[in-house]
Amino acid sequence: MGLFVSREGSDQVHRRKGTLGTRFFGLRLVAHYFLVEKSRKAKDLRSFMPKLSIKDLNLSGQRVLVRVDFNVPIKDGKVEDDTRIRASLPTIEYALEHGAKVILASHLGRPKGQRVDKYSLKPVADHLSTLLKRPVLFADDCVDDEAEAMASKLALGEVLLLENLRFHPEEEKNDDGFAKKLARPCDVFVNDAFGAAHRAHASTVGVTKYVSKAAAGLLMEKELEYLGKCINHPEHPFVAILGGAKVSDKIPVINALIDRGVDKILIGGAMAYTFLKAEGFTVGKSLVEDNMLSTALAIKKRAEENDIDFLLPTDHQVVDSYEPIKGQQIVAKTIPIEFTNIGLVGLDIGIETVGHFSKALADARMIIWNGPMGVFEEPPFDQGTIGVAHAVAEAADRGAIVVVGGGDSVAAIAKAGVADRITHISTGGGATLEFLAGEELPGVAALTDKD
């Protein structure tokens, strides 16, 4: 029935391996060898040196430059989702409580090195003022003379938010002169922007050369703690739920998870169709990376060789054709994977798959979830993702450590009303994936090592 694929039940499912399986056999061996060799390198996942924390700094009377991640959606001059702003509040409030003068720096959107009004951080300053219940000063630039003067004149307990760092092309180039200007008015630097830690930019790396000490903020510490547990000291049974569009985006993560002894891998989202097509199933017009079919087979083979349950969808929600038609009625139906014909498009996992995935989480002690199970932004194709959100929340209620990362996964947690039940919600996107893959994050590596 369908494709509920596990190491014990692989012979019980319907497979169409015929010519496709033969065609990819040679490629499969090559890809498998490549993945294993890459995996062996990944096994030596970087052991991050303990970094200085904001709690290790004497902040009294100091001007503290805090790199935050205020890259939030803004509509009609108002912040629509302040999750990332709220996530940095503990660090900002800690600095204020310990007598600091706080200078905040962030990027917003992709203005490509030019001043673009819609990417101004001014609405964020207004919103932050409400959250902190105190005035937040705003500088119209981040490195000009006026910004430096405002930062230099800050009194104890005052907060200054600098304008968008990416209005200057030098930020993303990690320009040394730009970094020096940014650091000039501050005494110490704190990086609390985990979501930007995988970027070697002036505000995450370059600035650390021009301050006496560079420390991790409270949010950064929390991210490193929980994500670090997932790759270095996972509790078992350890389950990974991976979704989203592309298998290619997740290969390093899957390899690292296999190396770290994950017990189960649950695959949803469009990336599942690459695995399903590689297995010989008809997936219609569903999104597939055809150049990744042999790699998908090799990944699954490697997981099974390591006694890891590898679960794919058994049913899905489909439509006859798909265009993003917001505001119009979409007619969808749920069918088993093996009933898919060439004209159908799969857009979400089905209720049976949600049930299988929920059952797989029943005994989990640690869960990492990254990526949606379907086209989450358009109902009714959010049902699978929301169903998984409830399942991981129930696991957390039973005592499991649950770490959720990725914009749509986080949005699902919020939409399902279970955010307060999740152990840790990561603010990182690409940073989360790179960390889980064992990559060194430049923004973390640049911080001062603890003695």
Q: Is 153 annotated in the active site?
A: no
Beta-bridge partner residues of 53: 216
Tell which residue, 247, 349, 354, has the closest CA to residue 294.
247
| Active-site position among 407, 415, 421, 429 | 407
SS3 65: strand
CA 382 to mean position of chain CA atoms: 18
Residues 6+ apart with CB under 8 A from 329: none
Separation between Cα atoms, residue 377 and residue 380, nearest integer Å: 9
Active-site annotation holds for 407: yes
What is the rounded CA–CA span in Å between residue 336 and residue 104? 51
Candidate list 28, 67, 84, 199, residue with the active-site label = 84
Q: Are 381 and 332 in contact (CB under 8 A)?
A: yes
109, 228, 280, 430: the catalytic one is 430
Annotated active-site residue 430? The verdict is: yes
User: Cα–Cα distance between 105 and 110 in angstroms, integer?
Assistant: 15
**From 122, 180, 184, 246, the catalytic residue:** 246
Is residue 118 classed exposed, middle or buried when 0-12, 13-18 and 19+ CB atoms within 10 A define those classes? Answer: exposed
Any catalytic annotation for residue 302? no
Q: Which residues contact 112 (CB under 8 A, 6 or more apart)?
A: 166, 169
Q: Which of 209, 183, 223 is nearest to 91 (CA)?
A: 223
**Which residues carry out catalysis?**
84, 246, 407, 430
